[in-house]
Structure 1
């Protein structure tokens, strides 16, 4: 039986969609979506999967690990080397919160305040 649906996009609320899309473009090597503008921007992979960024007036960044403003959603990325990936992502504008869950996972926060996780394969 074929699947009923397939993931086509993950969309993140933010204050500056184009800046956030450029962060994910630089971090993943995906292409900036050609229709990216000030209200909606994104990056797209060869398979068509889109990481979208949409402007939300009054956006409040989620807090992690706190829940005053819940994270609601986060992305997981596989990397070859946690330390190297973290260093490069911080150069691109990510930050590293003090709390980290364990040695296998690295939590970073994108420039709009969304937590995302890094791990190595296996």
Structure 2
């Protein structure tokens, strides 16, 4: 039996991918919101990213069902937290880009919950 340690293979965080009905629509929204270019795309997938940094992916899912947050009927699976300097100004910009505002706002003075064009909740905050 050998006592030599097996080297751990390198693992890198590359992207988080969101299921959606239209990857190009969601990539347009997040690309504009985060100033990220398209790094790769196919008919059913778009990856946003820059210079080898972690990116955001959007994958077409034919049977996609919008999350109904805060109603638990169709739960969200994940969400993004975005740090911002000005909640009001950033919220107005994201709404103009196509986000919507759900009725529930747990702590609107500290963070805001918005919904992207595919219905995924995401938060903007001034620091956690």
Per the normalisation by structure 1, the TM-score is 0.90
Per the normalisation by structure 2, the TM-score is 0.86
Q: Does 1:100 align with 2:105?
A: yes
5+ residue gaps, structure 2, are: 1-9
Secondary structure in 2 aligned to 1:24? helix
Select which of 17, 27, 33 maps to 1:21: 27
Select which of 68, 73, 79 maps to 2:84: 79
Secondary structure in 2 aligned to 1:68? helix
Deviations 1:32-71, CA, capped at 9 Å, x for gaps: 12x2233001211334211000000021011111111110
Deviations 1:5-45, CA, capped at 9 Å, x for gaps: 44321100000001100110000011112x22330012113
Q: Does 1:68 align with 2:73?
A: yes
Q: Which deviates further from its counterpart, 6-15 or 112-121?
A: 6-15
Aligned-CA RMSD value: 1.7
Number of positions where the alignment pairs a residue of Structure 1 with one of Structure 2:
119
Moved over 4 A (4+): none
